[in-house]
Amino acid sequence: MDGARIISFPKILDPRGNLTFLQAPSQLPFDLKRVFWTYDVPGGETRGGHAYHKQEEIIVALSGSFDVVVRRLDGAEEKFQLNRSYYGLYLPAYTWRHMENFSTNSLALHLANTPFDRNDYIYDYDAYAALSNKTQL
């Protein structure tokens, strides 16, 4: 759906504790330019509710769990539950999403291909749909 997909990262099993790693550029579908994380989200809250013009993103649940809901232009939604630190959800540009159902102490790592740019955000779904229909995304 809209190119959103789960990416598996290496998982090194060890009785002392497992290890997962990321190496750019071989394990990322873009050049990494920014890293940020989301945490301490109060119960019942959502994050996101937008798309980006340029930014591609991978979201990883480093701790706990949460859902990422991706909405298509026809209104259909797909929900990805992230709860393993060796999986990431790749979201290409022009992917509408929001995050919900955060467990206690969840920690979401976000990897992006662009530096922060407020002008890259699309916050209004109707404007996103109109833009998407106009440009055949």
pLDDT over 70 at 135, yes or no: no
- Identify the weakest region by mean pLDDT among 21-25, 40-44, 85-89, 95-99: 21-25
The CATH code of domain 1-12+46-95+119-137 reads 2.60.120.10
- Of 59, 7, 76, 110, which is closest to residue 68 (Cα–Cα)? 59
pLDDT over 60 at 137, yes or no: no
Would the pTM count as exceeding 0.85? yes
pLDDT over 80 at 121, yes or no: yes
Percent of the chain with pLDDT over 90: 80
Task: Report the phi/psi class of residue 13: left, alpha or beta, with left for phi > 0 and alpha for psi in -120 to 50.
Answer: beta
Grade residue 1 by pLDDT with cuts at 50, 70 and 90: very low
What are the structural domain ranges in the chain?
1-12+46-95+119-137
- Identify the weakest region by mean pLDDT among 19-23, 80-84, 118-122, 129-133: 129-133
Q: Which amino acid is at 25?
A: P
pLDDT (0 to 100) of residue 76: 80
Q: Which residues contact 2 (CB under 8 A, 6 or more apart)?
A: 70, 72, 92, 94, 95, 96
Per-residue model confidence as pLDDT tens digits over 64-82:
999 999 987 777 899 999 9
Per-residue model confidence as pLDDT tens digits over 15-61:
999 999 988 888 899 999 999 999 999 989 999 999 999 999 999 99
